[in-house]
Amino acid sequence: MLLGMLNVLPAGGLAISDLTATIALDVSQAVAIPEDSAWFAPGMIVLVDGVYEEEEESVGKGLSGSSGVGGTLGGRFQGFFIGQPPCEKRKATLGVSGPDGGQDHTIGGGFGWIDFLGVGSERAVGSKMRKLEQRLLPRHSAEEVPSRGRMVILGELNLDQPRTLQALRRILTIYAAEPEGASPMSFVITGNFTQHAVLARGGSGGSIEYKEYFDALASTLSDFPTLLQTSTFIFVPGDNDAWVSSFTAGAATRYLGKEPQTRVTLFGPNHEVVVFRDDISARLRRAAVRLKTSKQPQNEDEENQPPETEDGADDVVMGGNDPVEEEEAMDVDIPRKKPTVKQVNSSVPQDVHTARKLVKTVLDQGYLSPFRQSIRPVHWDYATALHLYPLPTSMVLVDTTAPPFCVTYEGCHVMNPGSILVPGRTRVGRWIEYEIGKIGKLRETTF
């Protein structure tokens, strides 16, 4: 079994690399364990079980550049099973044991003394913060009573769409009508705030139009002074929004030079919320390696069901380096033998399966951008903000290319509100209401 990073050789074949060497990888017969439970794309850390086939010459000789230690080895590795490294729970990382929320928490091993976020370590302030939370945010027995410890998460807010502000106004009206002292602690509003890239001569105009959009947003928020006084509004931009440019003339240097804040903490290390905006699901479908599956071809009775390769229609098929094998791997009409693996439960809805697959991939990798630099460039000065270690208590993963969901995996609650305007439905707004320490729930309203 090998542990390493999936990579692409200069000749175009798939390989697996670590600090010692690189070896060509053949996954034409590999099966994911568990089957169809995660994505596998170049740039990810994977576990591959198989056998080594020795060859006299290395694959792509003359293009790899080197051989031996640190270079490309001869032969290839025939993979039979491939999987993600197991995810480590937050409790195991911090060395926390005992019942949740109790006063008999014990600390042993792990990184209990490490202050990852600058808010205090688990051993130093963890128990004090839990007592403070119980006093300031008591749990109500009746669920119909609004709780102060809530976070309202609004998905993609395209300000250049007229109905967007109408939906936002309707949602804010619902929370403004709640009893005094029960307003949510925070509102998370995420981009893209325009449908097209601003300052790139797109369909959303330039900087003047962009400013007008936010003037309209400010006018809408000003109609709810109570929420502005009692709640914290967090704005998370997207890829289409304006970033650093020369028009600031240095006036905003102390803000633009800061490390991007992807974490929101509550009561020290007790609650850590990661907020991330990226259409990662579509990128995974484009860059992922297509593996063998045990699903049978669809019958005539299943013509109305979504096709088997709906989530993998754009996947790349990478096999061995034999031209005949590569040609066969690209031909989807060639019948394949059914492997002896457990079939995915067909009773699970497609949207739920897609959400679980996305969440498992991101959390098992422990990194918010598990891609090659040519697919998703990362500025290494800020790469530490993308690591998911220790695992957060919850994560807001705003992805408009994936269905909205609320999924818990290994103690981390992951939420995706999607877009605030529900596609395919007229005058319907959607958002997520997350109660701190519990789970989030999707809510909809008409406007």
Model pLDDT for residues 282-330, shown as the tens digit of each residue: 999 999 999 987 664 444 444 444 444 444 444 444 444 444 444 444 4
**For residue 395, what pLDDT is reported?**
97
Left if phi > 0, otherwise alpha if psi is -120 to 50, otherwise beta: which for 66? beta
**For residue 257, what pLDDT is reported?**
40
* Overall pTM > 0.85: no
Q: Is residue 43 part of a domain?
A: yes
Q: Is residue 406 part of a domain?
A: yes
Residue 45 and residue 24 share a domain: yes
Residue 341 and residue 259 share a domain: no
**For residue 95, what pLDDT is reported?**
84
**For residue 100, what pLDDT is reported?**
52
Q: Is residue 58 part of a domain?
A: yes
Domain of residue 408, CATH code: 3.60.21.10
Chain centre to alpha carbon of residue 313: 20
**For residue 47, what pLDDT is reported?**
97
Q: Is residue 410 part of a domain?
A: yes
Q: Is residue 358 part of a domain?
A: no
**For residue 70, what pLDDT is reported?**
61
Residue 63 and residue 94 share a domain: no
Residue 292 and residue 259 share a domain: no
Residue 191 and residue 265 share a domain: yes
**For residue 432, what pLDDT is reported?**
98
Residue 317 and residue 391 share a domain: no
Residue 324 and residue 178 share a domain: no
Q: Is residue 211 part of a domain?
A: yes
Q: Is residue 351 part of a domain?
A: no
84-130 confidence digits (pLDDT tens):
999 999 988 988 865 554 444 555 667 888 998 889 998 899 889 98
Residue 266 and residue 181 share a domain: yes
Residue 274 and residue 317 share a domain: no
List the chain residues with pLDDT less than 50: 101-104, 245-261, 296-334, 338-344
Domain count, the chain: 2
The whole domain housing 44 covers: 2-85+286-345
Which residue among 313, 330, 345 closes a domain? 345
Q: Is residue 353 part of a domain?
A: no
